[in-house]
Structure 1
Amino acid sequence: MASGAVIEHLSNESEFDATNEFPTKTATPMVIILAIYLLTILKLGPSFMKSRPAFQLKSYIVVYNILQVLSCVYLVHRILFSKLPTLVFWKCPDIPRGTAEDKDFLHVSYFAFWLKVSELSETLVFVLRKKQRQVSFLHVFHHCATLFLVFQLPRSYRGGAALYPLFLNCNVHIIMYSYYLMAAILPDYIVAKLTPIKKSITTIQMIQFALILLQVAITLSRGCKIPPTMTSVYSLIIIAFFYMFYDFYRNNYSMKKSKE
């Protein structure tokens, strides 16, 4: 089945009202965004940079990381102080349409979608700085799959704890982008002392995926009204994330330590 057909199947399987759908009535905009992203970072960008010197982009990197931290703090604050039962992740009550909770859900989901779109620029920065080696399969797959999930999950299930994975992810990103910000503005000798934080961030990311899979298992046992296809795709993506981050951790930290 083609990717477009899979997306449409997921959308049709959902009981989500198309007149109140987020962020659009079809998956076409997301597919177009991802197609442009892949074409740019894999073909157009490298071709454009082939005969040009690498850009530094330090100012952009600093501003970008500040905005990412602030955006994630905003989402965490919005989730915590809304009436959404996000942290009660083992329950799955439906959110009544047209209520204050429903508006909060849509606002957070919409904001999160465009925040994930903005994260695609990270790969373009790698390309423009001629760091194509960092445009790894893990990096590209993670960005594409995350955007797909943030787009599709609100369309498939508007339950009480549907934003729990986003809440976890925002907390991880506050730590991660804060580290990247420090790495961009602090002297090299201080950044060198902070390097062990990178290992901890990868560990935290794996814990995040484990907690998300725990939620999936609990919601399945409770019979929450989540489309089976979406549950399967979602679970497979999170498992793939966990494995790839574990493989990255093993190759970059565990094996390096054993060689020492």
Structure 2
Amino acid sequence: MSKNWNISLYITGAYVLSIFAGQSWMKNRPAFVLRKQLAIWNISLAVFSILATVRTLPELLGILARPNGLHHSVCSPCEDVSPDSAFWAWAFVLSKVVELGDTAFIVLRKQPLIFLHWYHHVTVLIYAWYSYGDYIAPARWFVVMNYTVHSFMYSYYALKSLRFHIPRPISMAITCLQLSQMVLGVTVNLYAYSTKNQNVQCDVKYHHLNVGLGTYASYFLLFSNFFYRAYMHGHGRKAKVQ
């Protein structure tokens, strides 16, 4: 995987083409219901994310509890992690391929597909696959944050697909949680920048920080715009972000 990160470019290229092909194919066809299939999909991803969080979050918290824990969590080599966390980091990258399936449900059900949705799927897959090869130190943050947020997010979508009524404040809280992830992502990258600029050892290269900072900053702007349009601008428009 680490030597073939360009495969992610082929996967995402095929993904984007399939979106437009799928929308064209569905244009004059009735929408599929897929309620049961969607529920199974979301429940499966929720269970996976929760299990991954349970297995990876304690190690990050343990590092933070040490003296100078924040620095170690951002800058200590990822080769030092346990085999368990190493496995879940590998599974994290592969899960980004699986999660492309989210879009198939949107296209086949003829739901609104916003730019944020497919942009996020494309960029997170490429960035995760590319970064995995260098075992960048801040990845422990990025992996745990994503697993944790997805535990809540896919559980939320699972309940919705099972026809549970979800209060509006809960929907807003999920988006706020996603925004918090982006803020933390930017913060972690800036901390690593600051550390390296002081000539203190930090196991991440500048080009990874440049890509990471740009990626998380773009997510923050797009999710902020989504939050405003969905919840603050009048009654907002329903749009699914996964």
Q: Per the shorter chain, which TM-score range?
A: 0.7 to 0.9
Percent identity, aligned pairs only, is 27
1:217 to 1:156, Cα distance in 2 relative to 1, 3 A: same
In the TM superposition, residue 86 of structure 1 has moved relative to its aligned partner by: 6.0
User: Is residue 138 of structure 1 aligned with residue 138 of structure 2?
Assistant: no
User: Is residue 45 of structure 1 aligned with residue 6 of structure 2?
Assistant: no
1:25 to 1:57, Cα distance in 2 relative to 1, 3 A: same
> How big is each residue's C-alpha offset from its partner over 1:135-168, in whole Å with a ceiling of 9 and x where there is no partner?
2111111111111122122223443x42212211
Rounded Cα–Cα distance in structure 2 between residues aligned with 1:141 and 1:89: 30
- TM-score for the superposition, normalised by structure 1: 0.78
Q: Which residue of 2 aligns with 1:120?
A: 100
Q: Which residue of 2 aligns with 1:200?
A: 173
Which residues in structure 2 correspond to 1:220-235 (within 5 Å)? 220-223=193-196, 224-235=202-213
Rounded Cα–Cα distance in structure 1 between residues aligned with 2:222 and 2:78: 34
In the TM superposition, residue 106 of structure 1 has moved relative to its aligned partner by: 3.5
Aligned pair count reads 225
> How big is each residue's C-alpha offset from its partner over 1:160-207, in whole Å with a ceiling of 9 and x where there is no partner?
x422122112111111111111111135xxx1x523211111111111
Aligned pair partner of 1:236 in 193, 199, 214: 214
Which range moved further: 145-154 or 62-71?
A: 145-154
User: Is residue 149 of structure 1 aligned with residue 130 of structure 2?
Assistant: no
Q: Which residue of 2 aligns with 1:66?
A: 43
Q: Which residue of 2 aligns with 1:182?
A: 159
Q: Which residue of 2 aligns with 1:90?
A: 71
Q: SS at 2:139's partner residue?
A: coil
Please say if residues 90 and 215 of structure 1, whose CA atoms lie closer than 8 Å, have aligned partners that are also in contact: no
Q: SS at 1:53's partner residue?
A: coil
Q: SS at 1:163's partner residue?
A: helix
In the TM superposition, residue 103 of structure 1 has moved relative to its aligned partner by: 3.5
Q: SS at 1:256's partner residue?
A: coil
Please say if residues 213 and 238 of structure 1, whose CA atoms lie closer than 8 Å, have aligned partners that are also in contact: yes
In the TM superposition, residue 24 of structure 1 has moved relative to its aligned partner by: 4.1
Q: Which residue of 2 aligns with 1:251?
A: 229
Query: Residue 237 of structure 1 aligns to which amino acid in structure 2?
Result: T
Rounded Cα–Cα distance in structure 1 between residues aligned with 2:108 and 2:194: 47
Q: Runs of 5+ in structure 1 lacking a partner?
A: 1-22
Q: Which residue of 2 aligns with 1:13?
A: none
Please say if residues 94 and 158 of structure 1, whose CA atoms lie closer than 8 Å, have aligned partners that are also in contact: yes
1:182 to 1:155, Cα distance in 2 relative to 1, 3 A: same
**CA RMSD of the aligned region, Å?**
2.3
Rounded Cα–Cα distance in structure 1 between residues aligned with 2:227 and 2:203: 35
Which range moved further: 172-181 or 47-56?
A: 47-56
User: Is residue 171 of structure 1 aligned with residue 163 of structure 2?
Assistant: no
Q: Runs of 5+ in structure 2 lacking a partner?
A: 197-201, 237-242
Aligned pair partner of 1:78 in 51, 55, 58: 55
Query: Residue 90 of structure 1 aligns to which amino acid in structure 2?
Result: H
Rounded Cα–Cα distance in structure 1 between residues aligned with 2:58 and 2:182: 24
Rounded Cα–Cα distance in structure 2 between residues aligned with 1:58 and 1:202: 23
